Amino acid sequence: MDGVKAEDFFAYGLDKLDKTINKLGSNVRAVNVNTIPGLNTLGISMARIDFGRRGLNLSHTHPRTTEILTHARRRALCLVDFQFNRGHTRVVAIIALSSQNASTITIANAVFGSKTPIYDEVLAKAFRVDQKTIDRLQA
């Protein structure tokens, strides 16, 4: 227990609104074993997402992790793999994760930014769209 201090068990700032002035209109603040060393070996972490008007948290997955999300302010549309604030006010979401250091894979990066490109024909069939739509998505 040498070197353990009270700060290893606390996170500060989750009660404060974050800036959402960016392309997505949202900001994710992760609280995990890197910010709270006391979480080590507990298998848990959390995050806070601030959504500005029409803010978006991109489609994503958390490999080997379960996610529970709740909205702390107002209402937002929450689908399985992404969150979008349809409203005209700010929204805050709190997320609990079953991993002490959960990873995130953004679907758009994995599909359209893949180092080994996925053939356009495969993308068009997988998403049931035409080539013109794939061209626009990749632009």
| Binding-site sequence positions for Mn(2+) | 60, 62, 67
> From the CB of residue 114, how many other CB atoms can be counted at a distance below 10 Å?
9
Instruction: Detail the residues annotated as belonging to a binding site for oxalate.
Output: 57, 62, 67
Looking only at the bridges linking them, the beta strands covering 60-61 and 83-84 are unpaired
- The token pair at 126 is 């997988």
Instruction: Detail the residues annotated as belonging to a binding site.
Output: 57, 60, 62, 67
What are the backbone dihedrals phi and psi of residue 54, each rounded to the nearest 5 degrees, phi first?
60, 25
61 beta partners? 105
User: DSSP secondary-structure letter at 138?
Assistant: H
